[in-house]
Each structure stands twice: as C-alpha cells, then as structure tokens.
Amino acid sequence: MRLRTVSFDGAVHRKDTVSGMTFSPAELLSFHSQGMPFYPGDVLSTGTPGAVEIVPGDVVRCELGDGLAALTNPVL
C-alpha cells in the first residue's frame, strides 16, 4: 500500500509503501495499545523520518493508497 504526505501547497514531500516501514502497522498498534485503548475511528500516525518541518498555520494532507483515504489537518 502506498503512503504519501502532501503539504498545504499540494507538493508531495514524502512517499513510501507499508513494506518500507521499520515496524508494520500491526506491530505499531500492538505496542501502542499496551499503553492506551484504541477505538473505531482512531488514527495512529506513524510519522515520516526526515520529513520537512511543519509550522502552525500549515495544513497537512496524508494519503493512504490511490484514492482510498486521506486525512487533512491544520497544524496548530
């Protein structure tokens, strides 16, 4: 599955695939759920190593797959 981080200006800053991650999504969820519960609709953001700096006022869009899902949030 393809993952992309897209900035407010629409430029793609990072892209990778799940297979390129150090830890699988299942491993990350297992680890983090030891310290907090997860509920339907919760999002576990893995971050992006070496990504560009974001600052308050930016709007970041993260995409999962080709048109499968996207999450857009303002940086506060």
Average pLDDT by stretches of 10, the chain with 76 residues: 62 71 86 92 72 78 72 85
Note the pLDDT of residue 5. 64
d(CA 45, CA 56): 18
DSSP 9: T
The pTM is what? 0.52
Note the pLDDT of residue 60. 79
Note the pLDDT of residue 32. 92
Listed by start position, the domains of the chain span 2-74
CA distances from 59 to 6, 11, 21, 44, 54 (A): 9, 12, 24, 18, 9
d(CA 58, CA 73): 9
